[in-house]
Amino acid sequence: MDEIIVIGHKNPDTDSVVAAKMYSILMEKKGKKSFPRIAGDVNQETKFIFSHFKEEIPKKVTKKEIDERKFFLVDHNDIEQSVAKKESICGVLDHHQLSGFKTDTPLYFRIEPIGSTSTLVYKIMKEGNKTVNEKEAGLILSGIISDTLNLSSPTTTEEDIDSYNELSEISGIDPNKFAKKMFDAKSDFSGKSIKDIIYADLKTFEFGGHKIGIGVSETTSTSYFEKNIEELVTSLNEVKNNEKYEAFFFGAVDIMNKNTLLFPAGEDEKNVIEKVFQGEKRNAYFFLKGVSSRKKQISPLLSKYYEKK
Ligand SMILES: [Mn+2]
């Protein structure tokens, strides 16, 4: 039972799935036994990528595995966003804000303020003089494209850009063309309810003892949300109640123009947005110009507000 499970956060995105798969491959290359798992259903973009590279999507973690295995976390360090039990965590590799992670024993813990965990996995591979093949390069590149919105997110660093260029070359992929296909796949809402869309990239935070939900949907077509405002508002309320959030916010992120329509789930959230963001109030949402990153532009402001509350 010494095989370690490498896993990303709940409501997995492409970066968390790719990083889990590739970090597990890296562990194997280093002679450590491990295998990747996912913590929930993958989105359309991740499905597109894995089918493009004819790679198997990691399987969903089982309850038995959660009870018995050791876990190495990628792309998250917040226990709220993890399926792993605290005492079973043996390592963390991430690029998110620290969230008060405490352990009884020492563990591998590496966090860097870069655009994607995939970049970090690639960096560690290079540090260990491990090479990647075409397919592996393509997968890591996809993780970088997804998290940095093809290098246009304010989270993007020089290291992401350098890795992106190297990996484009190794994989033989034209990253701009590929990014377009990924974003089209991500914006395909066919067969999905608004609630599915809200849950697809939902994160739970604990800011100063307040349980806060922030969901986002990165899309090339925010008009979908404007057209379905009534249903969206109803669904936001349902999700808020189901998840027992004190406050719940949902951002429809326009990945082409780098703006966010931030929807409050209720009156309280509306007041918070008015206090915290420089947004233009429209209909049921606030238009946040130049905002495209939950990690860098949305959650820090809400965290600061609720920590003081
Ligand atoms: Mn990430």
Q: Based on the domain organization, do 54 and 136 belong to the same domain?
A: yes
Q: Could you list which residues have their CB under 5 Å from ion ligand 1?
A: 15, 75, 117, 147
Which of 139, 158, 184 terminates a domain? The answer is 184
User: In terms of domains, do 205 and 140 share one?
Assistant: no
Number of folded domains in the chain?
Answer: 2
Looking at the domain assignment, is residue 222 inside a domain? Answer: yes
Q: Is residue 189 domain-resident?
A: no
Query: Which residue from 57, 62, 94 is spatially nearest to 79, judged by alpha carbons?
Result: 94
102 and 205 both lie in a single domain: no
Decide: 201 and 132 in contact? Cβ < 8 Å.
no
Give the length of the chain: 309
Query: Is 269 found in the same domain as 151?
Result: no
CA of 133 from ligand 1 middle (Å) equals 22
pLDDT reported for residue 99: 86
- Residue 202 region by backbone torsions, left for phi larger than 0, else alpha for psi between -120 and 50, else beta: beta
Ligand 1 centroid to Cα of residue 111, in Å, is: 11
162 and 25 in one domain? yes
Residue ending a domain, among 155, 184, 213, is 184
CATH of the domain at 78: 3.90.1640.10
pTM for this one? 0.95
The three-class DSSP label of residue 35 is strand
pLDDT of 129: 94
CA 93 / ligand 1 centre spacing (Å): 10
Residue 155 and residue 295 in one domain: no
- Domain end marker among 150, 184, 218: 184
Do 156 and 25 share a domain, yes or no? yes
On whether both 88 and 212 belong to a single domain, the answer is no
Confidence tier at 256 by pLDDT (50, 70, 90): very high
Contact 260, 296 (CB under 8 A): no
The pLDDT assigned to 150 comes to 98
* Radius of gyration, CA atoms only, the chain: 19
Confidence bin at 10 (pLDDT 50/70/90) = very high
Please indicate, yes or no, if residue 74 is contained in any of the structural domains: yes
Residue 142: inside a domain, yes or no? yes
Percent of all residues in the chain with a pLDDT value above 70, rounded to a whole number: 100
**Does the pLDDT at position 69 exceed 60?**
yes
Give the sign of the dihedral formed by CA 42, CA 44, CA 50, CA 51: positive
Domain of 285, CATH number, reads: 3.10.310.20
Whether the predicted pLDDT of 240 surpasses 70: yes
| pLDDT given for residue 117 in this prediction | 98
Examine the pLDDT at 1 and tell me if it is beyond 60: no
Give the pLDDT score at 100: 81
Structural domain for 217, as ranges? 194-308
Rounded to the nearest integer, the mean pLDDT of the chain is 96
What pLDDT is recorded for position 102? 85
At 149 the pLDDT is 97
118 CA to centre of ligand 1 in angstroms: 7
Q: Is the pLDDT of residue 101 over 90?
A: no
pLDDT in tens, 127-164: 999 999 999 999 999 999 999 999 999 999 999 999 99
Residue 272 CA to ligand 1 center (angstroms) comes to 26
Residues 30 and 179 in one domain: yes
199 and 178, same domain (yes or no): no
Which phi-psi region, left, alpha or beta, contains residue 290 (left: φ > 0; alpha: ψ -120 to 50)? Answer: left
Kindly give, in sequence order, each residue whose CB lies less than 8 Å from that of residue 25, ignoring residues fewer than 6 positions away. Answer: 136
Q: The tokens of 145 are what?
A: 């494209």
Query: Quick one: pLDDT at residue 302?
Result: 98
Task: Calculate how far, in angstroms, residue 56's C-alpha sits from the geometric centre of ligand 1.
Answer: 20
**Please, what is the end-to-end C-alpha distance for the chain in angstroms?**
45
How far does the centroid of ligand 1 lie from the alpha carbon of residue 267, in Å?
31
Q: Does 147 share its domain with 258? A: no
Give the neighbor-by-neighbor strand order of the sheet with 285-289: 202-207, 210-219, 247-254, 259-264, 285-289, 280-282
Distance 32 CA to ligand 1 centre (A): 24
Q: Are residues 38 and 166 in the same domain?
A: yes
